[in-house]
Amino acid sequence: MSRLDALKTRIKEALPGLECVIGWQKGYDALHNTPLFIRGEADVDKLEWGALNVHNPAVYLPSFAGKKVGVVVKGCDSRSVVELLQEKLIDRDNVVIFSAGCDGVVDIAKVRAKLAAAGLSAGNAEKVTVDGKTVTVTAAGKAVSMPLAEVAADKCLRCQFPNAVLADAFVGDPAPQVQAAPAADADLAALDAMSVPERMAFWRYHMDRCIRCYACRNACPMCVCRDHCIAQSREPHWLSQEDSVTEKLMFQVVHAMHLAGRCTECGECQRACPMDIPVLALKKHLNRTIHDLFNYQAGVDVAAIPPLLQFKLEEDNIKERSW
């Protein structure tokens, strides 16, 4: 039985006791899957499993507070569920986690670029097949094959958790770990290579086109303040309505700092950005810092206390300045 069929079977069994089960289904075209809310048995057959399941369904869990829901997760998504549990933002008794091994998902922006290089538009995608390590997209009658490794999301290239960290129903064989030690993150390496003033210019360049839609925030499973975000509060007045790089970047700093020690690097902020702004780099940098300082990784241990919610009398890695 395929992973997908096995998932469907387990979901059908559990559905009667659940408000809904959140997963993925086919979207408006062959290249896009979209979140699915299974509320009846007929919906179960719409479920998809594979490289186009790019969204992190954990984002919806806090909105179902008090109701028992199921969620289908990839390994990376499961870390968000764990982090939500760590912070007691959802109740373990009210979530049933379905999962299977994940072989990686695509980054649609990369597929778009590949098609563009072949003189085609992602907006004309007609058919997508993922066969082992190859993705083939047919657009405007022409088929273009691309290695999954070249169009996979960055996170997949360095994936440590192809299998869920926590699951109630894990079906099929576990997916193999990414071979070899994960290489250093290319985004961080590029930013590291810049001078400090160049980085200022970098953010000035990218943030300029931000439209302040807050897709980065709303797609983030850890941004649980939702309707009460300080970005839209007048008291305190953290951000003004001026259309300036200062205000736009300041929001990214708010988002990143509020995720310090909590971000599982699912990449939804950047994937959701309609303007292709590389906002994930800020969180990657913070995660590296958190790891260096506190040897901590978010969303892998339900019992762990996030590092900024605890302290040591003598910190191991903080060298205070002497005057």
152 exposed, middle or buried (CB, 10 Å; 0-12, 13-18, 19+)? buried
Element (H, E) at 86: helix 75-86
Contact predicate 104/288, CB 8 Å: no
Is the Cβ of residue 163 or residue 252 nearer to another protein in the bound state? 252
Minimum distance, C-beta of residue 144 to another protein, in the bound complex (Å) = 16
Please, which residues have CB within 8 angstroms of residue 24's CB and are 6 or more apart in sequence? 33, 34, 35, 36, 47, 48, 49, 52, 53, 55, 57, 72
Minimum distance, C-beta of residue 229 to another protein, in the bound complex (Å) = 9
Is the Cβ of residue 72 or residue 249 nearer to another protein in the bound state? 249
What SS3 state is found at 158? coil
Q: Which two tokens stand for residue 110?
A: 């990369």
Minimum distance, C-beta of residue 246 to another protein, in the bound complex (Å) = 6
What SS3 state is found at 102? coil
Is the Cβ of residue 49 or residue 203 nearer to another protein in the bound state? 203
Minimum distance, C-beta of residue 176 to another protein, in the bound complex (Å) = 26
Is the Cβ of residue 102 or residue 290 nearer to another protein in the bound state? 290
Is the Cβ of residue 20 or residue 159 nearer to another protein in the bound state? 20
Length of the chain: 323
Minimum distance, C-beta of residue 318 to another protein, in the bound complex (Å) = 5
Alpha-carbon gap, residue 248 to 242, rounded angstroms: 9
